């Protein structure tokens, strides 16, 4: 599932090619993904110019002057730029937008989503700030509001385990299962600890590791950007250098003990029982 760094990478990749592009046509091939796709998409998007592309939590916002496309990749979604000559609509290509780039090239922007947990909807510019999709979102990790003090406040009196706490998007947005495992390993904190049991020192360490890990992952994603507009779009995702995630029974990179896997809140957690306490 794409997490914050992947979505940031997708946004940067799209922005690199699409700023200033003009939409010729837009077509939806499914009535809904997780929520309904607006009807008459073509009349709503035709002739619009792409002003900016930004990430909000794990949403991709494509600003078209008076209207904004809100897209979410869900569990399995991909948004890719494809060549018009070689394009054949594939299974699960639910949205196809025909564009003319600033340099005159004509491309397709395609949203493919096999599991249909993604979102493609529209909002007016005025309504975007108070859009209902964003009403329950917690703190953005890179915002000024998110600090170690804010994380301390989140953890106070919270009996839930620390992993589920940092993954809760109503508290902090964008830390999914993969990066939650990595941040806790780097901070030396056992994933089953109750959030309220963390000391100030541990909270400061965890805060620092959340920021650092997400930044490193975005930087790793950035290195794939030059290939981003390739037809298959695979390079929109990347392999971050994981220390524990997906490494059950392999040696811990710090102490050599076997990395363990447990299931918490229906998600796999990977950790080192020796390094994390
Ligand atoms: Zn270890």
pLDDT band at 13 (very low <50, low <70, confident <90, very high): confident
Does residue 3 have an active-site annotation? yes
Q: What angle do helix axes 200-222 and 4-18 make, rounded to 10 degrees? A: 30
Looking at residue 184, its pLDDT comes to: 98
DSSP letter at 237? S
Distances from the Cα of 257 to the Cα of 91, 252, 253, 271, angstroms? 44, 5, 8, 10
Domain ranges, ordered by start, for the chain: 4-134, 148-271
Ligand 1 centre and the CA of 127: distance in Å?
48
Lowest-pLDDT choice from 28-42, 65-79, 114-128, 216-230: 216-230
Per-chain mean pLDDT for the chain: 91
* Strand 267-271 with 260-264, pairing: antiparallel
User: What digits encode the pLDDT tens for the residues 142-155?
Assistant: 999 999 999 999 99
Looking at residue 218, its pLDDT comes to: 85
pLDDT value at 233 more than 70 = no
* Of residues 150 and 83, more confidently modeled: 150
Q: What residue spans of 54-136 are helical by DSSP H?
A: none
Ligand 1 centre and the CA of 241: distance in Å?
16
pLDDT value at 242 more than 90 = no
Looking at residue 223, its pLDDT comes to: 55
Does residue 267 have an active-site annotation? yes
Ligand 1 centre and the CA of 130: distance in Å?
44
Catalytic position from the list 48, 58, 78, 243: 58
Ligand 1 centre and the CA of 6: distance in Å?
27
pLDDT value at 75 more than 70 = yes
pLDDT band at 6 (very low <50, low <70, confident <90, very high): confident
User: What digits encode the pLDDT tens for the residues 128-145?
Assistant: 988 999 999 999 999 999
User: What digits encode the pLDDT tens for the residues 179-212?
Assistant: 999 999 999 999 999 999 999 999 999 999 999 9
Architecture of domain 148-271: Orthogonal Bundle (1.10)
Looking at residue 174, its pLDDT comes to: 86
Long-range contacts of 82-86, Cβ-Cβ distance < 8 Å, separation of 24 or more: 82/107, 82/108, 82/109, 82/110, 82/231, 82/233, 83/107, 83/108, 83/231, 84/108, 86/231
Ligand 1 centre and the CA of 261: distance in Å?
13
Nearest to 71 by CA among 17, 7, 3, 132: 7
Ligand 1 centre and the CA of 80: distance in Å?
39
Q: Count CA atoms closer than 13 A to 270's CA, side-chain side.
A: 22
pLDDT value at 231 more than 80 = no
Options 3.40.50.720, 3.20.190.10, 3.30.1330.30, 3.30.365.10; CATH of 4-134? 3.20.190.10
pLDDT band at 3 (very low <50, low <70, confident <90, very high): confident
pLDDT value at 215 more than 60 = yes
pLDDT band at 235 (very low <50, low <70, confident <90, very high): very low
Ligand 1 centre and the CA of 183: distance in Å?
14
Q: How large a percentage of the chain has pLDDT more than 70? A: 93
Query: Mean of the pLDDT values across residues 58-79?
Result: 93
Does residue 182 have an active-site annotation? no
Looking at residue 54, its pLDDT comes to: 95
């Amino acid at each position: 599932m794409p997490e914050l760094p992947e979505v940031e990478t997708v946004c940067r990749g799209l922005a690199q090619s699409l700023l200033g592009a003009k939409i010729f046509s837009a077509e939806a091939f499914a009535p809904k993904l997780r929520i309904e796709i607006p009807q008459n998409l073509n009349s709503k998007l035709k002739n619009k110019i792409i002003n900016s592309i930004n990430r909000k939590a794990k949403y991709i916002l494509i600003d078209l002057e008076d209207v904004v496309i809100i897209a979410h990749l869900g569990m399995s979604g991909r948004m890719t730029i494809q060549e018009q000559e070689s394009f054949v609509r594939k299974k699960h290509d639910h949205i196809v937008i025909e564009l003319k780039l600033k340099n005159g090239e004509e491309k397709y922007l395609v949203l493919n989503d096999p599991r249909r947990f993604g979102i493609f909807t529209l909002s007016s510019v005025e309504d975007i700030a108070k859009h209902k999709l964003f009403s329950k979102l917690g703190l953005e990790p890179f915002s000024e509001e998110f600090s170690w003090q804010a994380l301390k406040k989140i953890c106070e009196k919270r009996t839930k385990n620390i992993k589920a706490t940092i993954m809760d998007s109503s508290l902090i947005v964008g830390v999914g299962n993969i990066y939650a495992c990595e941040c806790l390993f780097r901070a030396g904190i056992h994933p089953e600890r109750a959030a309220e049991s963390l000391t100030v020192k541990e909270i400061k360490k965890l805060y620092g590791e959340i920021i650092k890990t997400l930044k490193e992952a975005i930087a790793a994603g950035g290195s794939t950007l030059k290939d981003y507009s390739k037809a298959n779009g695979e390079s929109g995702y990347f392999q971050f250098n994981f220390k524990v995630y997906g490494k059950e029974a392999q040696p811990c990179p710090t102490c050599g003990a076997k990395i363990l896997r447990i299931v918490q809140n229906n998600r796999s957690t990977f950790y080192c029982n020796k390094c994390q306490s």
